[in-house]
Structure 1
Amino acid sequence: MTMPKRTRPALAAVAVALLATALTTATATATPAAPQSTATQATPPPQNDPFYAPPDPLPDVAPGTVLRSRPIDVSANGISVPVKAWQMLYRSTSATFQPNAVSGTVIVPEEKWSGDGPRPLVSYAVGTHGLGPTCAPSYKLATGSEQEFSLFSQALNRGWGVVVTDYEGLGTPGPHTYVAGRSLGHAMLDAARAAEALPEANLSRDAEVGLWGYSEGGFATGWAAQRASAYASDLRVVGAAVGAAPADMETMANLHDGGPASGLVLAAAVGLARAYPDAPFQEILTPEGKEMAADISTQCVEEISANYAFRSLDSYTTVDDPMSLPKWQRVLDDIRLGGTAPKAPVMIYHSPADELVTFDQAIQLNESWCSRGATVRFQPAVLGEHVIGAVSGAPYAIEFLDGRFAERDPISTCATAP
């Protein structure tokens, strides 16, 4: 795989850094501001909090088993409905099918569910947060700084329960296995299992489960949808809203390496090297490359985007075009999304103006799933570039999930979508 040093006039790295601002603004307009709590001062970061340290050895228990939990206050994020919330550590499975522990947050409206059947549950996957421990959504929720709260709070406003995974190595000792699709999908599915098993949350094991995420979260959601029937057949997964998923990471790396968003390419290399230890990485890094990898392993997306724009991966390695090495090609093939048809209906939503995860990624994913017999609704009517698309696309995701929970017939556009 060649890695041209290409730039984009839309300045994708700046767009990634601005996502926090856009979502913070959306929070202010979508929900009333809540008083800032003292959680930021009182809550230790995950690397200093024994709660996040997995038991050693890890118990021989089933995926989705809750290893520990504790109540938390998420009101500082701003929300219009009273909720109860818990952090939890739960058993999951890595990209290479090894047992691991993952952290996450369960949030449930206090008001009794008045709809038909058990309260629905949304397993929500966040977009790129970074690789370091303080980037974990559970920590950000506890300290009132989780920008995507404005998105998934729309599910809470419907009375649905929400569980937000931290993914592997984000909260728990890392670095985060960034864009390791199978691990991300397992973390989402096991978060739903754990949420249903948490007695305090009062969620039913028969609850209908919806999957939802955007960007890295869309990639995770797609993988969860693909893996659900084989890995978590006990869950009643009824639909998946897949937003702006970077389905083909090799294409994405080719596009952004050496450009404004090159920090994300470097972060992907660091994360995938942890997920796939057989792929050569540390042994092909220069001294500057080892410093880069150690640095990125502790940083969140804003720092990564600012500090590592316009850098090429092979400038940090002793070999040219490291991703063309056979073991790395196998990794890239392994994480490519679209190879298995999800059993539950899915909606792909993506803006044609997306400059970071380009629209051809959605077209490719739609074609892959449709050709394999999936029920896919393709929604290209999302406004704005990548950052704005997270906000403008959320109502489509909510409407889709509402239809799945109401058991309305799913819409397929496989015969008409591009």
Structure 2
Amino acid sequence: MHLRHPRHRRATAAAVAALALSAGIPAATATAHAEAGSAVGRPGDVVSSAPSAFHPLPGQPTNTKAWKVHYRSTTADGAPNVVSGTVIVPQDGRTGPRPLITYAVGTVGMGDSCAPSNNLPYGTAMEANLIQQFTLRGWAVVVTDYEGLGTPGVHTYTVGPSAGHAVLDAARAATRLPEAGLGADTPVGIMGYSQGGQASSWAAELQGSYAPELKVKGTATGGVPADLMKVADFNNGSYGSGLIFMAAAGQDAAFPELKLDSYLNPAGKALVAGMKESCVAIDAIAGSFKRISDLTTRDPLAQPDWQARLNQSRLGRTAPAAPVYQYHALADELIPYAVGRQLRSEWCAKGADVQFDTIWLGEHVSGVITHSLEVGNWMADRFAGRAPHPNC
């Protein structure tokens, strides 16, 4: 989604106008804000906002207020875009500053219906119970939808720089939303696992140069797909092979010159087309146990242009400015443990403050659940100003 093109600005404006109508906001006003937000202003500026809700389970009450926001951000190649997300603030009587978590969800799918902002109000978001652990601590949370998920265009799944921008700009948007009661001095924590691990790690690497004004106290990141070429090779023909084709579609969305369609055979074209409209449960089943050669006429990942773009999303080149808590399951069946360890080694070699924990029991999906208390406690220590315990 490259909003420098007028047709994309019109599409975004139409989407925001539709949101505004549902919230009782004049469509003309929302459209004008969307047009202005896509062309001028700063990354993180709020283009539009509307009241929303946060429910961990259907009908389960929470003592929070929530808003759906559209905010300015930046694509992987530096063009301005507009991303949606949800700001959640506990209503606990607390006055004065409170911490903010900018939360990057794991893989939900590529269809717009999968976007967190479309599920958090109804208790159908997969990581809502994890998010509630943070609101119960009195922390505000902002959850990005990522580029193209819930907004016009195809979701740029696994495109690291785009995701990192979206996570950082979500934090900026939350601090600039007057109703949220936050501000420029708000202490910020970055969190995410799996796809969210890639996004949060990219946010950690980019923060010093892209959003240095954010008061980031630490990043908790897990199950990180730090090297997409190695992850693709690991999953080719296995249970997680559908993720390869989702990632290819996401890279192609960000970089249309890759021409993914020209590599796909009829079965591959049908699979990818379905993935763009579906959520992860369907995508994972439809794409599992397939080899790249089953769905292509030639392997795009063997081509220099594809390799260059995937390498552009590889982590480990820049040391995060704030401390990092990184965790990975030894028996991770989707993201090789060695990929996580390599990221830790590269960050440590560059002088980063990294605490790495191995999840000895469990696998990829369970890791984010079983380690959630450790993650929350580590971040609470960062907000409290306690010294971290790196183990490089």
TM over 0.5: yes
State the Cα distance separating 1:379 from its structure 2 match: 1.2
Aligned to 1:72: 52
Q: Per the alignment, do residues 309 and 377 of structure 1 end up closer, same or farther by CA in structure 2, a change over 3 Å counting?
A: same
Matched, 1:179 2:158: yes
Residue deviations 1:143-163 (CA, integer Å, cap 9, x gap): 220120111111101100000
Q: Are the counterparts in 2 of residues 132 and 174 from structure 1 also a CA contact under 8 Å? A: no
Matches within 5 A, 1:1-400: 50-51=18-19, 55-56=34-35, 58-75=38-55, 77=57, 81-113=62-94, 118-319=97-298, 321-381=299-359, 383-400=361-378
Structure 1: unaligned runs, 5 residues or longer = 1-45
**Cα separation, 2, equivalents of 1:162 and 1:276:** 31
Report percent identity of matched pairs: 45
Secondary structure of 1:145 counterpart:
coil
Secondary structure of 1:292 counterpart:
helix
Larger mean Cα displacement after TM superposition, 281-290 or 92-101: 281-290
Structure 2: unaligned runs, 5 residues or longer = 1-13, 21-29
**Cα separation, 2, equivalents of 1:213 and 1:80:** 24
Secondary structure of 1:350 counterpart:
strand
Aligned to 1:40: none
Q: Which amino acid aligns with 2:382?
A: R
Q: Are the counterparts in 2 of residues 133 and 174 from structure 1 also a CA contact under 8 Å? A: no
Q: Aligned pairs, how many?
A: 366
Secondary structure of 1:68 counterpart:
strand
**Cα separation, 2, equivalents of 1:179 and 1:268:** 6
Secondary structure of 1:176 counterpart:
coil
Residue deviations 1:178-231 (CA, integer Å, cap 9, x gap): 110111110000000000000001012101100001111111110000000100
- Determine which structure has greater relative contact order: mean sequence separation of CA pairs < 8 Å that are 6+ residues apart, divided by chain length: 1
Q: TM-score, normalised by structure 2?
A: 0.89
**Cα separation, 1, equivalents of 2:153 and 2:222:** 26
Q: Are the counterparts in 1 of residues 55 and 62 from structure 2 also a CA contact under 8 Å? A: no
Q: Which amino acid aligns with 1:270?
A: A
**Cα separation, 2, equivalents of 1:273 and 1:317:** 15
Aligned to 1:26: none
Residue deviations 1:357-414 (CA, integer Å, cap 9, x gap): 2211221111010001100001114641112111011111101110110010111100
State the Cα distance separating 1:126 from its structure 2 match: 0.4
Larger mean Cα displacement after TM superposition, 364-373 or 378-387: 378-387
Secondary structure of 1:380 counterpart:
strand
Q: Are the counterparts in 1 of residues 237 and 292 from structure 2 also a CA contact under 8 Å? A: yes
Secondary structure of 1:89 counterpart:
strand
**Cα separation, 2, equivalents of 1:345 and 1:112:** 30
**Cα separation, 2, equivalents of 1:350 and 1:361:** 9
State the Cα distance separating 1:51 from its structure 2 match: 2.2
Q: Per the alignment, do residues 162 and 382 of structure 1 end up closer, same or farther by CA in structure 2, a change over 3 Å counting?
A: farther
Q: Per the alignment, do residues 47 and 387 of structure 1 end up closer, same or farther by CA in structure 2, a change over 3 Å counting?
A: farther
Q: Which amino acid aligns with 2:256?
A: P
Q: Are the counterparts in 2 of residues 351 and 385 from structure 1 also a CA contact under 8 Å? A: yes
Q: Which amino acid aligns with 1:85?
A: A
State the Cα distance separating 1:76 from its structure 2 match: 6.2
**Cα separation, 2, equivalents of 1:286 and 1:359:** 32
State the Cα distance separating 1:80 from its structure 2 match: 6.8
Larger mean Cα displacement after TM superposition, 288-297 or 398-407: 288-297
Residue deviations 1:309-337 (CA, integer Å, cap 9, x gap): 12222333332x22010101101210111
Aligned to 1:30: none
State the Cα distance separating 1:291 from its structure 2 match: 2.5
**Cα separation, 2, equivalents of 1:204 and 1:382:** 40
**Cα separation, 2, equivalents of 1:303 and 1:289:** 15
**Cα separation, 1, equivalents of 2:230 and 2:125:** 30
Q: Per the alignment, do residues 76 and 332 of structure 1 end up closer, same or farther by CA in structure 2, a change over 3 Å counting?
A: closer
Residue deviations 1:122-171 (CA, integer Å, cap 9, x gap): 00010000000001000011222012011111110110000000000111
Q: Which amino acid aligns with 2:213?
A: D
Q: Which amino acid aligns with 1:225?
A: A
Q: Are the counterparts in 2 of residues 314 and 322 from structure 1 also a CA contact under 8 Å? A: no
Secondary structure of 1:278 counterpart:
helix
